[in-house]
Amino acid sequence: MQNRATHCTIVLFLLLGVFAQAQNKNLANNLIPKPATPATIEANKRVLKELNFNDTLDYVNAKRYLIARLEGPIKDKEGNVVWDMSRYDFLNKYTPETCPPELNPSLMRQEQLNTYAGLYAVVPDHIYQIRGFDLSVMSLIKGKTGWIVMDPLVTVETAKAGIDLAKKHLDRNFQVSAIIFTHSHIDHYGGVLGIIEPSDIGKIPIYAPEGFLEHAFNENIMAGNAMGRRASYMYGNTILEHDVRSQVGAGLGKTTSSGHSTIAIPTVSINATIEQPYDTPIDGVRVHIWNSPNTEAPTEMMFYFPDFKAFCSAEEVTQTMHNTYSLRGTMVRDPLAWSQYIDQALIRYGNEVDVIFASHHWPTWGNKVVVNLLKKQRDLYKYINDQTLRLTNQGYTMIEIGEQVKLPNTLSQLFPNRGYYGTLNHNVKATYQRYIGWFDGNPANLHSLPPTEAGKKYVQFMGGPANVLKMAKASYDMGEYRWVGMVLNHLVFAEPNNMPARHLLADAYEQMGYQAESGPWRNFYLTGARELRDTARLRLFTQKNNPEPNRDDLDNMDASEYFQYLAIHLNGLKVEGKEFTFNLIMEEKDGSSTLCLIKVENSVLRAYPTVFGGSKYPIVTLTRSVMNDIMIKGGKGAVESFEKAIIAQKATISGSGKDRLEWIELLLALDSFPFWFNIVEP
């Protein structure tokens, strides 16, 4: 009897082992990207018939005037790879006809063009570019005494690598004589300390549009955590591999580098119009500069170099339809103003311009071709504006207009007008929001239930989880991936641990990603699919990678912006009914001190820089570095940082024990901003 029991136990363990192996195998299979379905294969085949892939002018332009290629990966001081273009070598073995079915052939074409990386001439002997070293492009203009550097990439490491290549092939004694930030996005200034030393700041002129610092900080600090997390979806730069079933690029470039970003305060603020441009030569180079605000960035500039007949459009004219709203989250841009600025440039310089180059992609040469590009992109953005308003005034809603607006062939057949980065669909929705706002006028959408509550109700009304899954699988088999995504999103928010629902939703997102012509759309879908499937790997990844705000940005914020950033950390309900007032003396890196009166009243923190409230209020003294730690960590972490600073004699607080307790209470009410908040699940 005992032997029989032992035998049964052994059999049971063996069966459990087989079951566990099967479960692990199923889990592993669910983590592997699926192949394209018949519906996706057909969708991507239709693209081949829609566009003229025999037009190879962009390939010619992207390779033109190559001086030296980028060789090998770019590493930081610790030896970590921050940029490796070789990850995308697989793209160049395909033609449109042999494009894998998991990749939209139009997007493949764009991403092949984005793989060309190296030092290129734009106007030989005068203007050069470093392309393919980062998401953006760094331009080099030869001046009388040195080199004018425009848009020094995202990170210090990639910018330095670009300058090193220029030193090797252009000028052994390469010296930066001036710097230009064309606009306020981090990929156009983040690498500045890779091209100059910190001691050079203030000595070398830095040109930027008026309002540059305000908008740079608003984007990268005030809403930076949310934008950064969403950017991990948009650029596919966290958990996706690089292959035909994963990340292939971002349309505007490949992705963002992973090095160290910095900032430098501009010394020359430009506020000019095209009618009266800023035209003081920069290091002996004649250039016309004018502002083009509320277009691709809230503050931006365009340039014309009359001696070279070269037009730098910053990001107003690129080799893609741009965003009038970025999916990572931004203020909505003005497509009408965008169109008007291009039109002004065309009227003033169209008869003479010979080359156009931008802060992304490759240049376009030849007056006729340049003028055609300017006209088509001018009319692209005005078409978006006008057609959105036409349908808005007929009573259509944002979603409906997104489905209805189509480009005429004269605009859609030009490759630079294709939606590789922005898309017609989400740009139209953004324009609707710009004029009308988020509310479509339907009372049902005025105070809708939040996703988790709504999800539970939807699932209940649709017959329960099993029925939802059954019907969603049938819709998936019919290629109705958008519908499957909508339905199963409700189920996942109602039951986030329902793995069959997560996996089928991931499958639907994956197929939509394979069909996407837009790099960001593809990356959003595929990153969402990976996070739904690979929860264990994601948890491990997020534990090892926890980005925090850029401390260089925090150090360079003026007092007003800095204490407003402190204010948005305050959890108002935690100080409900409380009133606190403190004098703050913050020691800066340069040895100076910033005075500020901080008041908390009605659950709102207000700061009065340069104001000292007198001896009736307690005085808190600390360094900006300690204050940075307090804001970044929040709550108990903020208290620990302050107490450690007191021990290290980097902070003090005057007053009574009650004053100290109130300061601690304020610190405990500060929230931290965790980077890895959920997106595709509650």
When the pLDDT of each residue in the chain is averaged and rounded to a whole number, the result is 93
Domain boundary residue among 436, 457, 483?
436
Which residue type does 617 have? Answer: Y
Residue 158 sits in a domain of what CATH number?
3.60.15.30
Whether 173 is covered by a domain: the verdict is: yes
Q: What is d(CA 602, CA 96) in angstroms, rounded to the nearest whole number?
A: 62
240-259 average pLDDT score: 97
Per-residue DSSP letters for 205-241?
-EEEETTHHHHHHIIIIITHHHHHHHHHHHS--SS--
Q: SS3 for 151?
A: coil
Q: What is the pLDDT of residue 22?
A: 39
Tell me how far apart the alpha carbons of residues 263 and 551 are, in angstroms, rounded to a whole number: 10
Q: What is the pLDDT of residue 19?
A: 32
Domain boundary among 436, 459, 477: 436
Q: Above 90 in pLDDT, residue 381?
A: yes
- How sure is the predictor about 543, in pLDDT bands with cuts at 50, 70 and 90? low
Is residue 504 one of the residues assigned to a domain?
no
Considering its fold, how many domains does the chain have in total?
2
* The two three-digit tokens of residue 3, written as one number: 């032997």
pLDDT in tens, 8-50: 333 332 333 333 343 344 545 667 899 999 999 999 999 999 9
Enclosing H/E stretch for 665: helix 657-668
Helix (H) or strand (E) holding 57: helix 57-63
Domain boundary among the residues 377, 403, 436 is at: 436
Same domain, 274 and 409: yes
CA distance 598 to 585: 11
Residue 571's CATH number: 3.30.1050.10
pTM: 0.94
Same-domain check for residues 432 and 566 = no
Specify the length of the chain in residues: 682
Domain with 242 in it: 40-436
Asked if the structure places residue 8 within a domain, the reply is no
Q: What pLDDT shows up at residue 538? A: 73
In a domain, 59, yes or no: yes
Residue 581 forms beta bridges with which residues?
599
pLDDT band at 547 (very low <50, low <70, confident <90, very high): confident
Residue 404 covered by a domain = yes
Distance CA 640, CA 583 (A): 20
**679 assigned to some structural domain:** no
146 burial type by CB count under 10 A (0-12 exposed, 13-18 middle, 19+ buried): middle
Residue 469 has pLDDT above 90, yes or no: yes
Cα–Cα separations (whole angstroms), residue 545 to 116, 154, 538: 30, 19, 10
Does residue 183 fall inside a structural domain?
A: yes
pLDDT at 32: 87
In a domain? residue 546: no
Nearest by Cα to 500 from 490, 509, 491: 491
Q: Mark whether 231 and 366 lie in a shared domain.
A: yes
